[in-house]
Structure 1
């Protein structure tokens, strides 16, 4: 005879499906600078992570996806660093990840970035400041893991599982970001093929088990069906260009991580 708890459990599954036990997700604003209100729209919609692509041009860090569209007034300082400093000073509970995608030579660009971050240093998450509320995550053109030690600990690194790591190198990794199309050609219409979903699930489980890192897939279809599918196979961070829609969707499902929680470098036990 089923217990009262078992009957309640079964009812929950019937009403909401297996996702009743899914983890709340972190929200990432992909290519944030391309939307009509860079930084502010994502920040005030509760996003935990915001992306800016950068080039170093005549000593200034400019924000753009391509060197064909560089504009001198679109600086990293003006579009992101200064607004972040102001916002985090006003809201002393808020935490944020700024994912910086380096589009040119990281050997020249990363030292310039470190210099540009100097006025934010009290806020920066690092080995020496574990309570820092701003994590700087380096993606795109970045050093090989063996060279992470050459950079200050205010810089964390995105990983794509291409290179082997020592434990010390894994300790500098903020998250794992993978190209969705290498796992599936599904376009977000209808149901994802079972084989693809199982492959994605196994990949996420393997990263969690072997590295403890959180996982984001870039290049995934950007619609409700895709977001729900990513939730089902266990992606930790959901990226989007549709800021308000994703925020509303996850809020409705009660699956949004609080803005006072930073994206951890390792899964929380």
Structure 2
């Protein structure tokens, strides 16, 4: 079967199967439904056909609300539905009778309980790992059963020219409706649990079919809410968004969590569709996506009975193309305890943060990264986790961590103990790379790609005596006014809780606010950057710190701080 699919892929690409001539923006009008988490189970059927009956009634009846949709779409009744996309978890188990039940509803055909539109299937975790048994072998048999069905559908669509491009291993595929390019990535892009990664395929697909600026609608099962994101590896996320950043992504839709919501990640509003049956948040619902001209709107359609009656509900997304992804370097973003992340350093760089922190321990002459004293392990040495990756990136980017950056990248080390001894080892270890670091030579500051400074148990005795060095100190509030130059301590950091009691509720008391402004003002008068640590890790605090001029704002959760900094995308989303 897979060999047949590969052959059809080659043939389709050779003849341009399924390609449609790009439309002018003012004639583009595409509407699709995205449904997730159908979870077809064993008969008898209860409410699983309610979705289908409702979808079949959308034409001539569905209207985006006037106050929650983009101009040109708001208040206009839809006349044509172009297809139904499934964002994973089609089946709850892999059984022939369940498959037959699904096919009677979601394979295009006549009758009010059978879908009337082309269906673009997608698999989720229940489809890839069906709950047929606790035994691994039975699970693999169930997976093979489900994938065989998906292969037959995609094989047929490819042969008929209904899809453009197929990655046979992951079963990811793409198609066009007018000039809108759709990508179905199955469980998630970068999945390797049952297949080869689709990421190279995706990069090639978008280059081939979306490089003229035409809109892209991307669908996969896993999203970025707190429950789903743990299923989706960070390195796969990083690569996916690096790819998508080069294209005009009109909408990004996911399933999995059984709750409609609008999340934000790296500048993208990610629309999470609901499940198909009644639960705590009400009846089942699905997303309706419309692109008209340069306008994009998404809303949820919740069925109210078995006759196809429905209500239009949120969350609502309204946007205008082209989507502009903020490629700014976030100079004030500080990745606190960066080494705790799935991919130390790399995750912060993916969010374009300009400062990271690593805690160091000196053990038997080697430097290890850890919050608590670790067991020696080559995988967590400072050189392997931070120095070598940073230097490789600088060399690849023409001498900068970020091409086009107008200032150094900040690398802070918290010396957990033995600061003076640690500094001796650090100097020796960093000597081969010193040309890439900011330095002081004979008392004069020279800028480099990275400013490296030490906090915690600092070498406060030996380092200030050196007239030539490529390491700096983290200052403290008590050091202000003592004549310590920025060329020695370019950053001042201190514990928020040692100075303030305000926890973010209501307004900060005036006396505390004045005290904070006085501290920050003194730091800036000395030409230094300022950072609080130990403050509540909330978005409200981050906004407050930015408003008050804190230069380096810490984050344990990178996405939360990114959303605070990325005002553009948040302003366009309306719940």
Q: TM-score, normalised by structure 1?
A: 0.77
Q: Aligned partners of 2:419, 2:391: CA distance in 1, in Å?
A: 24
- Correspondent of 1:196 among 507, 512, 530: 512
3-state SS of paired residue (1:225): helix
Q: Aligned partners of 2:561, 2:452: CA distance in 1, in Å?
A: 23
Instruction: Specify whether residues 239 and 66 from structure 1 end up closer, same or farther in structure 2 by C-alpha distance, changes over 3 A only.
Output: same
Contact kept? 1:189, 1:225, Cα under 8 Å: no
Quote the offset at 1:241 in angstroms: 0.8
Quote the offset at 1:178 in angstroms: 1.4
- Correspondent of 2:428 among 115, 119, 130: 115
Q: Aligned partners of 1:53, 1:33: CA distance in 2, in Å?
A: 8
Instruction: Specify whether residues 181 and 154 from structure 1 end up closer, same or farther in structure 2 by C-alpha distance, changes over 3 A only.
Output: same
Pairing 1:1-269 to 2, within 5 Å after superposition: 26-67=332-373, 69-72=374-377, 73-92=379-398, 93=400, 94=402, 95-128=408-441, 130-144=446-460, 148-150=464-466, 152-163=468-479, 167=483, 169-209=485-525, 211-252=526-567
Deviations for 1:108-138, whole angstroms, at most 9, x for unmatched residues?
Answer: 1001011111221121111247231011111
Quote the offset at 1:89 in angstroms: 1.3
Q: Aligned partners of 1:132, 1:120: CA distance in 2, in Å?
A: 11
Instruction: Specify whether residues 70 and 96 from structure 1 end up closer, same or farther in structure 2 by C-alpha distance, changes over 3 A only.
Output: farther
Contact kept? 2:334, 2:553, Cα under 8 Å: yes
Instruction: Specify whether residues 70 and 151 from structure 1 end up closer, same or farther in structure 2 by C-alpha distance, changes over 3 A only.
Output: farther
What corresponds to 1:6 in structure 2?
none
3-state SS of paired residue (2:393): helix
What corresponds to 2:286 in structure 1?
none
- Specify which structure has the bigger relative contact order, considering alpha-carbon pairs within 8 angstroms and separated by 6 or more residues: 1
Return 53-62 or 239-248, whichever deviates more: 239-248
3-state SS of paired residue (1:77): helix
Return 187-196 or 120-129, whichever deviates more: 187-196
Q: Aligned partners of 1:38, 1:63: CA distance in 2, in Å?
A: 10
Q: Aligned partners of 1:184, 1:54: CA distance in 2, in Å?
A: 28
Q: In proportion to residue count, which structure has more strand?
A: 2
Deviations for 1:26-79, whole angstroms, at most 9, x for unmatched residues?
Answer: 111111001222110101211111100101111110011121x44423110111
> What 5-or-longer segments of structure 1 have no aligned partner?
1-23, 255-269
Contact kept? 2:440, 2:487, Cα under 8 Å: no
Return 230-239 or 181-190, whichever deviates more: 181-190
Instruction: Specify whether residues 181 and 78 from structure 1 end up closer, same or farther in structure 2 by C-alpha distance, changes over 3 A only.
Output: same
Quote the offset at 1:163 in angstroms: 4.2
Aligned length: 229
Q: Aligned partners of 1:187, 1:36: CA distance in 2, in Å?
A: 30
3-state SS of paired residue (2:347): helix
Instruction: Specify whether residues 187 and 25 from structure 1 end up closer, same or farther in structure 2 by C-alpha distance, changes over 3 A only.
Output: farther
Q: Aligned partners of 1:46, 1:32: CA distance in 2, in Å?
A: 13
Q: Aligned partners of 1:103, 1:151: CA distance in 2, in Å?
A: 25
3-state SS of paired residue (1:162): helix
Instruction: Specify whether residues 151 and 117 from structure 1 end up closer, same or farther in structure 2 by C-alpha distance, changes over 3 A only.
Output: farther
Q: Aligned partners of 1:150, 1:234: CA distance in 2, in Å?
A: 32
Deviations for 1:159-209, whole angstroms, at most 9, x for unmatched residues?
Answer: 013347764655311211111112212333443333322221111112222
Q: Aligned partners of 2:479, 2:561: CA distance in 1, in Å?
A: 32
Quote the offset at 1:238 in angstroms: 0.7
Q: Aligned partners of 2:568, 2:429: CA distance in 1, in Å?
A: 39
Q: Aligned partners of 2:509, 2:341: CA distance in 1, in Å?
A: 32
Return 24-33 or 239-248, whichever deviates more: 24-33
Contact kept? 1:25, 1:238, Cα under 8 Å: no
> What 5-or-longer segments of structure 2 have no aligned partner?
1-329, 403-407, 570-575
